[in-house]
Structure 1
Amino acid sequence: MITAAADGSSLSNPGPAGWAWYIDDDHWASGGWPHGTNNMGELMAVLDLLRSTAVDPGEPLHILCDSQYVINAVTTWMAAWKRKGWVKRDGKPVGNVELMKAIDDAMQGRSVTFEWVKGHAGHRLNEAADSRAHGAALAFQRGDEPDPGPGYRPRSAARAGTAGDERGIGPVAGAVPQIASDAQPGLFDDADRAGAPGSGEPRPEDADLAAVVAAERELLTDAVRSNAARLRVLLHPEFVEYGSSGRIWTRNRLMAQIEPLGGSTRLEVLGSARLGPDALLLRWRATSPSGTSLRSSVWVRDDSLGRPRWRLLFCQGTPQPA
């Protein structure tokens, strides 16, 4: 069983707000918004915990909350709200309905239980989650970016290495034998094994394109691949990759199995297209000693971390014959 505390914090309520969940010092996460409520933080902490632990669907999840609102909403009121089209008994819309719907969706097929704990009463897990949620709110108040934490590495990570198509962009080193490059899944596939970025791409004139190319190059470095906090910033929460083997990789699944891969990869920009004011498509070629692949990446600019930044939403690769 996974036991975790989830908590939220809002300064002035509403005001700079933070959320956090905590299992232990190696498994926790936090985030927030420049302006939000305490209830938003409480709900978002539960939602991110559900999504992060989804890579271990067989593990029962026990969530400790000091919010009666969250526990009652999820365990008592939600079923009736759904039947009535997400309106309350008085006919008014359910508050924070999008978070509620997302939590309901994330709980499907999971064994999830909730337990109320008294806040600020010395409970170790609750205090750890509370301090991180409050720290995130303070960071937004200062105009800084909160510490996202290490995230969640699943208990099934070792088992995930038993099949080549479960490797992501890197399981535990040596856990599985090498497989053919046309079956290698994960960020940038086998042809894009990490390392220092190459040179020779056309010099981008557009500042947004330059920022996207720089971020893409970061993802080709072992320093970033081994930094969970930086990856959480670069990868959009809804990130999806279609690997060349046909495997679909979500952000949580990918981050749970990531490790430095070593080697050297050359990035060659082939073209780009602006999909909207805050969306760019980058087409590029990755060349490494193990092969070459053609890549398409969609980057979007969002401000969910407190200031606008480019984050990778989608990528897909196709091995290029020699």
Structure 2
Amino acid sequence: MTITAAADGSALGNPGPAGWAWYIDDNSWRAGGWPHGTNNMGELKAVLDLLEATAVDADQHLLILCDSQYVINSVTKWMPGWKRKGWRKKDGKPVLNVELLKDIDRALAGRSVEFEWVKGHSGHAMNEAADRRANAAATAFSKKQDPAVGPGYRSAGGAADGAAPAPAPASASAPEPSPAGGGGDDLFSLFDEASPEPGASCSTAVEDTVLVGDQPGATDFEQITAREQALLSDALRSDPPSAAELLHPSFTEIGASGRSDDREEILAHLAPLGGIDAEEFVADEVAPGVVLLQYTTHGPGGTAHRSSLWVREKGRWLLRHHQGTPARAADGRAAH
């Protein structure tokens, strides 16, 4: 027998009031959250609570439907390496949300668990049900109300586990610090400071924006510019798996603060930051199959000059490195 459940998280402000939920059916689901947390915390907590709730049926195979590539990759790909390195990433930096990940690691012991990625906000019934409950929990915390926690897990024997989830202790609910400070000059690393409006759906503009530059006859400049603009769009930043397809496996970004983030960190914190306009694109082929793209953006955090290095691999242009620098006014201060 296989237990199939959807798990999801939600954060209003990211970080902000946060919720999580898992859903099997209308008689077997649970939700909870914190007054202050991140979307990734909610996604991980939903998986953890699901593992703990279904432990009574640990002999059953558990299929977890999840729209978070961050969670799936963390658990199925990155966690073994993190553990070997003392829960540090390959660059020596500590792993984010490490306590939740350690708890998940312990809860997985002896279990037959499979993850399946589903596209969020695409009409998948179980994913939508989990999303609604996670968002409702986040909304309840934003209003300083108790969330609807659900009936809990109804085991194969027909009994519910009956344990209502309590808000996490302060040590677990404190959100991870933002990857960088500043005024919106970094292409990715500040995007965790904003999140989609509750219920916002991933737009087909993701595909449309990318494919415009990939039409037959499009020049390399048109393809690269289309990809760069797609990565600036709220649509693509709402869909990390699609954004991942445009990033080189060794992608890095250096923010204005001097902090360097790798591909894992960027995808883990990817979220929309609306109101960015880009202009003055200039491309320079610095080597065969390597193009330096420079341009200027204007947004809520001010004006920034950006540089992106794109490389061509197996016929596709991938972003290898990005750096953003705030524009300076005549008096030498950052322009706003």
Task: State TM-score, norm by structure 2.
Answer: 0.48
Deviation sequence 1:120-150 (CA, Å, 0-9, x none)? 0000000000000000000000000101100
Q: Tell me the amino acid that sits aligned with residue 164 of structure 2.
A: R
Q: Tell me the amino acid that sits aligned with residue 50 of structure 2.
A: L
Paired residues of 2:65 and 2:118 also in contact (CA < 8 A): yes
Q: Tell me the amino acid that sits aligned with residue 83 of structure 1.
A: R
Partners of 2:167 and 2:34 in 1: CA distance: 14
Aligned to 1:74: 75
Alignment of 1:1-322 (within 5 A): 1-156=2-157, 228=162, 232=164
Paired residues of 1:3 and 1:63 also in contact (CA < 8 A): yes
Aligned to 1:252: none
CA shift, 1:110, in A, is 0.2
Q: Tell me the amino acid that sits aligned with residue 130 of structure 2.
A: A
Paired residues of 2:34 and 2:167 also in contact (CA < 8 A): no
Partners of 1:136 and 1:15 in 2: CA distance: 12
Partners of 1:227 and 1:86 in 2: CA distance: 32
Indicate the percent of aligned positions where both proteins have the same amino acid: 66
Deviation sequence 1:149-206 (CA, Å, 0-9, x none)? 000021045xxxxxxxxxxxxx7xxxxxxxxxxxxxxxxxxxxxxxxxxxxxxxxxxx
**Structure 2 runs not aligned, ≥5 long:** 174-336
SS in 1 for 2:63: strand
Cα distance change of structure 1 residues 237 and 38 upon mapping to structure 2, 3 Å threshold: closer
Partners of 1:126 and 1:63 in 2: CA distance: 10
Aligned to 1:260: none
Aligned to 2:330: none
CA shift, 1:237, in A, is 9.2
Paired residues of 2:19 and 2:138 also in contact (CA < 8 A): yes
SS in 1 for 2:49: helix
Partners of 1:127 and 1:8 in 2: CA distance: 11
Cα distance change of structure 1 residues 92 and 105 upon mapping to structure 2, 3 Å threshold: same
Aligned to 1:254: none
Cα distance change of structure 1 residues 227 and 75 upon mapping to structure 2, 3 Å threshold: closer
Deviation sequence 1:222-274 (CA, Å, 0-9, x none)? xxxx994xx526xx699xxxxxxxxxxxxxxxxxxxxxxxxxxxxxxxxxxxx
Q: Tell me the amino acid that sits aligned with residue 106 of structure 1.
A: A
**Structure 1 runs not aligned, ≥5 long:** 158-170, 172-225, 239-301, 307-322
